Structure formats: C-alpha cells, structure tokens
C-alpha cells in the first residue's frame, strides 16, 4: 500500500480540504509546519515519512483562475530527491496535456470534472504518466458519462476521488472503490477521500487498491510514519 500525501493549493498556499466545499477551504494549520507555504508543508510531511510522490490539486486552476505555477516551481526546486508530482491543474485541452506530459517529474491528472468530452483521454490514455481521476461530489459523478462508463478508456492509473469524504474522517468509500476495482482489471486503482488510519489502509489493500491519497490523517497524527513504513513492507 503506497501512501501519497495531498497538497491542495489555493491562492499560493496549502489549504485544508473540507468535503469538496471549496469556498470553505482555508490555509492549513498543522503541527507539521509553521506556515501554509507549500515548501514548508511538504518538508513537514516528509518529516513523517520520506514520501517520493505528492498529489497536488491546483484549485485555482481547476476553477478557471490563475494556476499556482510559482508555488509548484518552488516545490520542485526545494524538495530533495526530485519527488514525482501528480498534478491536477484543471487541464482539458490537448495542448495543455501535451505540455504537461513533456515536463519531467510531473504526471498530469486528467480530472473528470474539468473535461467536456473524452477527447483528451482518448488521445493520451496510453501514456504511462497520465492519471485519470474519476471525481465524485456529494451529488454524484462529475464529468462526461463516458469517462466513468467506458472502462476501456481508462489509463493504467485511476484515482477514485470521493470529495464528499475528503477531510471528513468518515472512512473511504469502500463500496465505490470495490466496484471501480472490479471494472479496472489490472489497472492501478488509487483511493482518495476519508482515509483515517492504518485499519482503513489495510482494508483498502485487501480490496486490491494499490495506493491512497492522504492528508488529514497525516496532519492530525492518526497515521504515523511507523505505520506507513510497516504498510510499505507488508
């Protein structure tokens, strides 16, 4: 079970997500960092465990605003070991994905909520560094129905993003993850939303989930470095 910490960016700062209600997101307050600066928070997270990958949601870009490119550049320059960055920046056009795919150490995330059709996924699905995020809000799936219904379009890595669970400490959406995994075949399925502790992660591993995106439990200390190390060795 691979643990991937999440950095939600808004206005140049890391914010604490709250069930997909982005108007409520505020700069994060965490014992792992003295500020909400992206480099400081990332360093704090790596004090828990030497994470090699970060997932970044550029919320300004996703909502059609100015991307947080400067913050991402600082993170890339400041983090030892050149971590792999999985970045959802609201990309929806061919040119944007092509440019992102050409950027070293960056894996672009094709978020279903940002897509108008399946064109970009059809063109780039065979790229090993492309990641699909199936985005579920409180009202259900958000994005073109074809992205959810046609599993043949899915790339090798698929995130099941249950935003209503994010920051809720309510546990992952096990039923949805089980259903998506059954359709995904040999593809990697990544859980996102609601992970509370080691027990949740072990249950996800039992379902064949290969990784989990985690934030709140790392900052709150309910998931520790020792537990992560043990899970990585299991």
What's the pLDDT score for residue 228? 93
Q: By residue range, what is the domain housing residue 50? A: 2-233
| Residue 43 belongs to domain with CATH number | 3.20.20.70
List residues bridging with 81 in a β-sheet: none
What is the number of structural domains in the chain? 1
What's the pLDDT score for residue 166? 72
Each residue's pLDDT tens digit in the chain (234 positions)? Answer: 899 999 999 999 999 877 656 677 789 999 999 999 999 999 999 999 999 899 999 999 999 989 999 999 899 887 666 688 999 999 999 999 999 999 888 999 999 999 999 999 999 999 999 999 999 998 899 999 999 999 999 999 999 999 876 766 778 999 999 999 999 999 999 999 889 999 999 999 999 999 999 999 999 999 999 999 988 776
List residues bridging with 8 in a β-sheet: 15, 57
The pTM for the full model equals 0.94
Dihedral-angle region of residue 41 (phi above 0 means left; psi in -120 to 50 means alpha; beta otherwise): alpha
The two tokens of residue 108 are 């672009």
């Amino acid at each position: 079970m691979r643990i991937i910490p999440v950095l939600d960016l808004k206005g140049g700062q890391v914010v604490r997500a709250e069930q997909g209600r982005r108007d409520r997101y505020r700069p994060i307050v965490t014992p792992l960092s003295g500020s909400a600066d992206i480099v400081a928070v990332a360093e704090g997270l790596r004090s828990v465990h030497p994470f090699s990958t970060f997932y970044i949601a550029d919320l300004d870009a996703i909502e059609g605003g100015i991307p947080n490119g400067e913050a991402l550049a600082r993170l890339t320059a400041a983090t030892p070991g050149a971590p792999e960055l999985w970045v959802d920046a609201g990309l929806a056009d061919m040119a944007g994905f092509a440019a992102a795919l050409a950027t070293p150490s960056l894996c672009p995330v094709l978020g279903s909520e940002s897509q108008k059709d399946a064109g970009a996924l059809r063109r780039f699905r065979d790229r090993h560094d492309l990641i699909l995020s199936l985005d579920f809000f409180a009202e259900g799936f958000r994005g073109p129905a074809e992205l959810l219904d046609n599993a043949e379009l899915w790339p090798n890595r698929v995130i099941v993003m249950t935003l209503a669970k994010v920051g809720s400490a309510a546990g992952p959406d096990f039923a949805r993850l089980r259903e998506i995994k059954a359709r995904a075949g040999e593809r990697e399925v990544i859980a996102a939303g609601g992970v509370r502790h080691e027990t949740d992660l072990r249950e996800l591993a039992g379902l064949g989930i290969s990784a989990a995106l985690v934030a709140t439990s790392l900052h709150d200390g309910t998931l520790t470095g020792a537990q992560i190390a043990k899970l990585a060795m299991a």
